[in-house]
Structure 1
Amino acid sequence: MPPKKRARKETAAKEAASEAQGETPTIVSSVEEAPELKVNFGVIFDLPVELWLEILSYFPSVRIPTKRIGHAPLLPASTLARQLSLRALSQTCRAFRTQFLPELWDRFEVCATLNQIEEPLRHRPPGSRPDDERFDLAGAWYKDISRALETKSNGLRESPELAKLVHKVSVALTRCSAPTVLGAFVQCLHALPNLHTLQVLRAHSQMTTHLKNAFQGHKFPAIQVVVLPDHAHNVLRSCPEARTVICNGSDGGKLISAIAKECKKVQRLEGFHANEALMKRLLSNFME
């Protein structure tokens, strides 16, 4: 036993001396292991990008289009897993930053927060499966999501080198500080030169006026795909070059009116349950 204690002290002294001289000490799991043991981590950098993306595809993420779980206003915090993993990888070293930063900023997402309080749904809707992941949100989640959208919008607008990497945007909108938050978000959209897909997963049904005031007079001609609820039709009016429109809330009647007036190039519709009169109006618009 005494010799082992002396060996540990000698090893610790050598490591301390190496660190003081700016050297990297050799890491061994026990005193008995050979001091010349080396671990080669270089193989990680040799993995092809396709394999990394395949691995990351198994992490929860925000799909386009995606459906909210039950009636919850936000997606679960677990959907942040992919973005958090990409952020960690991009901050590991210079090689990983070059490889993963474009993938990280390909999507600008504000659909959930890490600190949101999720509670199991007390009364399960009739006909739902037992394994359905349904939950309620507790606390001031609407303040957190609004604050996150404003902060990230302002930050991205002031970072043109990152803004040019963004191709897809997915957000949840609330009435909390709506004029300020929506104003920042609209200016952020103007700063994204390569944006082609805009998804609004959630917008309060009483936000119509706020959305009209924020988006009126603004045009985003680069956007080709728009996913949004019916009462967010004023957002669609600002996307005159949209080719695909997906309704993720209500029947889509107001979206059809917006398409007939402002979006003459729409070629594909999904999620619509409008009445016959509005559908005829839409068809007549296409035949002009």
Structure 2
Amino acid sequence: MDIRQLKYFIAIAEEGKILKAAQRLNISQPPLSKQLMLLEEELGVKLFNRQNQNQRLIITNEGKLFYQRSKKIVELVEGTVEEFKELSEGVRGTLSIGSIPTLGATLLPKRIRNFQKQYPNVQFQVFEGDPNRIKELVANRIVELGLVRHPVNNQLFDMIELSEEPIVAAMSEKWNIGENRDYITLSELEGKPLMCIITPKGTSAYNHSSVTDRVVAACLQNGFEPNIIGESSAITPLLNWAHYDIGIAMVPRSAMNIMPNSGLLFKEIREPSIMTHQPALIWLKGNNLSLVSQRFIETFQVGASNLDLDTI
């Protein structure tokens, strides 16, 4: 038995079919089947029960135990190798991360700059999308890390939760409420043309209430129905519309970093405040993360409760 066989077994256990495991490992199917047979002979137990009608492999209780041990052994060996590589060569590789636009504009630039100074041999791949898309990228192993907002399936993902941030009103001079004040009260938005973020319904298993839902609920609780004239699944269009005097955009505070030269006024909402869904850094549960990703996660573990958002 060697580390290669353990990796083969892990792939088979996770994919459930020899063919899919072979495709994942980029090897042909017959040698993989033979390696599984040799492994079962060496251990003296059946690791899978075969379902011939659909070629599905059902892992046995012995297989489940061996899978848990195999994962630990592979992680220990690969982690040890990476640690020695780090000692001799420094951390190198590619950091692949997905992010929703607001958190990407706020949390990533400074962290990537500092991380690249510390580990100059690291390259970066950053993908943007809505929370549903980023979760799917992480779940499908297209990226290792994701910056999203709750809800997050904690059965599928491990995570570091970050601080909540408020929703603010982004407005042009035409719609300037409160004159020179850096805040407005929620009641001052009554009758004003509002524009909000919306989450498309039915597009993913990760659907949740949108900013629109939170704004409507807060306004109704305060005795008026909001005048919502526009919605978008992306924040940039809302900020553009606000820039062109169409209305007031209701966006997370971190959105003020997306268009820094727009001339928009960003004002805190009080009495009451409206909070966004809590942000989180996520990664696939049980996934053997690269050393690069592990080091990047550490930048969030120190003071993780303090989200690096510019104050208003």
State TM-score, norm by structure 1. 0.25
Q: Which has the higher strand share?
A: 2
State TM-score, norm by structure 2. 0.23
Larger radius of gyration: 1
